[in-house]
Structure 1
Amino acid sequence: MNHPNQARDNEILNKFKIEDALKITPNGYRFSLKFKRALWLASSKLCAYCGNEVENHKSMNVDHFVPKSKGGSEAFDNYVCSCSYCNLSKQAVDMDEFRIRMSISKSPLKGIINSAQLKQLTEIGVKLPFEIQKFHFEQVLEKGVVF
């Protein structure tokens, strides 16, 4: 499976130690602005999922590509530059479920059916005006962009 960290400039992130990226707070932890800026720049200021430009590193969300609830780690290769919409949409679901959700949101089915309904309908053979979309990082990797 392709991974978003293959579609960014990881040399920018190699300057960091995990303790420099995470700041412990009374409510858990947060990512330092220096690290968020580096991840934002390493990702060409684009959301790894939708490819939309993220306005600045302060508004960027750091997403865990593999959610912590699914065994994802606190490691640089698991952190992804994400826009707010994608981060909120993804929540803690796996990539297949998120891909279906995002594909529905870009289709004529938006607001009509959800991913569970789509799966049920396709299982019984209903043809829908729907196409599975690729994430931005997958499109970048297909183009052969190498940092």
Structure 2
Amino acid sequence: MLDVERVAANVDCVLRLRQTVDIRERVVDRAAQLEGASGVLFIFLENAEMTTIHMDSSISQTITRAVIGGGVLSCTKASDKDVYSHSIWATENNIRQFTMHEGDSIVIPAGSTLTIWIFRKQPGQSTWQMDFELKEKAV
């Protein structure tokens, strides 16, 4: 014999899950429209973890780390206008390099190794810094 309350709870859970899927599908469809129309890149990351990366040329000009679930890397701050980075992600089958300045973002696929190098066009004797935010999708 079926427990009526248990069945009702399962039906309610399935209905809520379906509503969540419908909302996600609408968000993804709208993002695709925006991306096609205006070149805006939109990514929806649920259960994401944010990591702040501060790089200082006096300590190190490179960092490498794994990005298991994929995510988005954003350059949030540069110490000067001529400071930039080469951000490289590599998977088993692919590798991509991006030049990033303050305000730029890139999408990193799941299972990537991410390497960031910071540079300055006119380094002289100075040091320089860049800050990044890495929003990783939880696995």
TM-score normalised by the shorter chain: which range applies?
A: under 0.3
TM-score (normalised: structure 1) = 0.23
Structure in which a larger fraction of residues adopt helix: 1
TM-score (normalised: structure 2) = 0.24
Higher-RCO chain (CA-CA 8 Å, sequence separation at least 6): 2
